[in-house]
Amino acid sequence: MNAILLDLLAFGSVLSGILVITSRNPVISVLFLISTFVNVACYLILLGINFIGLTYLIVYVGAIAILFLFVIMMLNIKLVELQDSSEDYSNPYPLAFVLGTLFVSGLSLTNSNFSKFDLPSIFDSINLLSFKSDALETLTVSHTNWDSVFVSMDQINSIGQVLYTSHALFLIIASMILCLAMVGPIVLCLKPTKRIS
């Protein structure tokens, strides 16, 4: 029963994601986006990853998607203008079909070729170069024993342990990207002040 429910939630999230892209009304598109996030959050909760599932609900549905919906409803975009502007462009479905087949073929090739390309060892060598120490000796949690960490600790403890030890470089890069995403629009929206002499 649990597997059937997981399959239904996965199918619902994929279908909602497709409807986000194909719907012409932006308000309906944001509602399908909220549906996608709710399906993914329920999927994660059923898998037993409660913390990340509830974080999806709070952050994405509670903040970002509602903010999108509020901004779109305040902009008051008329549906007639959207339909007139969309007729100028070509049909997006052939491009979506080509990109979808490329994505599915890339996923099918990933399973066979991923073992040849050892991505975590590359980042371990980056740790060796930057910190001049062996990452596996100094860190208590490596990238290979996540399963045992999730079993032996709480979810929040294990996520924090992995995030702040073996994947600290990713955390710093993500924080710098978020800082740029916050500062960039402020710099772009600033108007230069003219000095009156």
pLDDT of residue 133: 47
35 or 95: whose pLDDT is higher? 35
pLDDT tens figures, 128-183: 444 444 444 444 444 555 555 555 667 777 778 888 888 888 889 989 998 888 88
Question: In this structure, what are the phi and psi dihedrals at residue 116, rounded to the nearest 5 degrees?
Answer: -75, -30
Contacts of 98 (CB under 8 A, 6+ apart): none
What global pTM score does this model have?
0.54
User: For 1-75, CATH number?
Assistant: 1.20.120.1200
Helix extents (H) in the chain: 2-22, 26-47, 50-55, 66-75, 79-86, 93-113, 119-131, 135-138, 146-152, 155-164, 168-189
pLDDT tens figures, 35-53: 999 999 999 999 888 888 8
Domain ranges of the chain: 1-75, 156-189
197 or 4: whose pLDDT is higher? 4
